Structures are given as C-alpha cells and as structure tokens.
Amino acid sequence: MTIRQDGAYIEAGENDNVIVQKISSRPTALGIFGYSYLEQNKDKVDAAKVDGVEPTHDSIFSGKYPLARPLFLYVKKSHIGLIPGMVEYIAELTSEKAFGEEGYLVDKGLIPLPAEERKRITTEAKLLKSITIQ
C-alpha cells in the first residue's frame, strides 16, 4: 500500500499541536489525535462522531466510542533485574496516583479504567504477571 500523493493526505507526524493547526485551517479536514487535545482545542476543532457516538469522557470510559483504545505498556521480562528501577517503574505507572481517577496521567489526557480493572492490573503488575486488557 502507498499513501496518496495528491495532497488529500498530509503527514503531520506525532505533534498533536501541528495536527490541530492543520485541521483548524481546513474546514473539511480530518485529523486523529488524543482526546486531551480535543478537550484543549474545542474552540478550534469539532469532534467526529463514529456510528453516532461522540468522543466524550463517558463514551470513552464506557468503551462505546469505537476509536478509543487503552494505553499499552510493554516490559520485557528479561529486563527485570537487569535494568535498575524497572520494577519500581511498573509499580509507579500502575499506582492509583498515576492511573487512578485523580491520577497525574488523567491530567495528560488518560481516561482511567474502571476501579475493578485498575485493581486487577495493579495486582498483576505487582506479581509481574503478563497482563491483558479486555
């Protein structure tokens, strides 16, 4: 597959601010970026409904907005014990102060998982068990 070269597709990289600038200057443009940037730029861009569902905190939290996805953290088990701080890093990112409802990752745009799911992930992370988001 190749990307269109007729100007219909414009590469903006991973800089969400650039994406907001590009789509806000083109009324028919479509861009894909994180929910936090949508929230911060509601005065410049409109959200796209998918199957009639708007991207809102509640629709993302409930899993109803079909384009939302969880944040994945991959850790190579063979690095545990070799790389100093790896276990502490995993514990930090799976702590309530990080990914809980009032956690600092919420300030960065993360919409936390339900409490029971967070509890399961935290427990499995402490056991260094392979975790699957369902």
Q: Domain range holding 62?
A: 1-69
Please indicate, yes or no, if residue 131 is contained in any of the structural domains: no
**Reported confidence tier of residue 2, pLDDT bands at 50, 70, 90:** confident
User: Where residue 34 sits, what CATH number does that domain have?
Assistant: 3.40.190.10
Q: What is the pLDDT of residues 65-123, one digit of tens each?
A: 999 888 788 888 889 889 999 999 999 999 999 999 999 998 888 889 889 999 999 99
Please indicate, yes or no, if residue 132 is contained in any of the structural domains: no
pLDDT at 131: 60
Residues 6, 58: one domain? yes
Name the one residue in this structure whose structure tokens are 């276990």. 87
Residues 2, 62: one domain? yes
Percent of the chain with pLDDT over 90: 36
The per-residue pLDDT of the chain, averaged, comes to 87
What's the predicted TM-score (pTM) here? 0.69
Answer for the pair 86, 129: CB distance below 8 angstroms, yes or no: no
Neighbour tally for 102: CB within 10 Å: 9
Last residue of a domain, one of 69, 92, 111: 69
Last residue of a domain, one of 49, 69, 89: 69
Residues 1, 55: one domain? yes
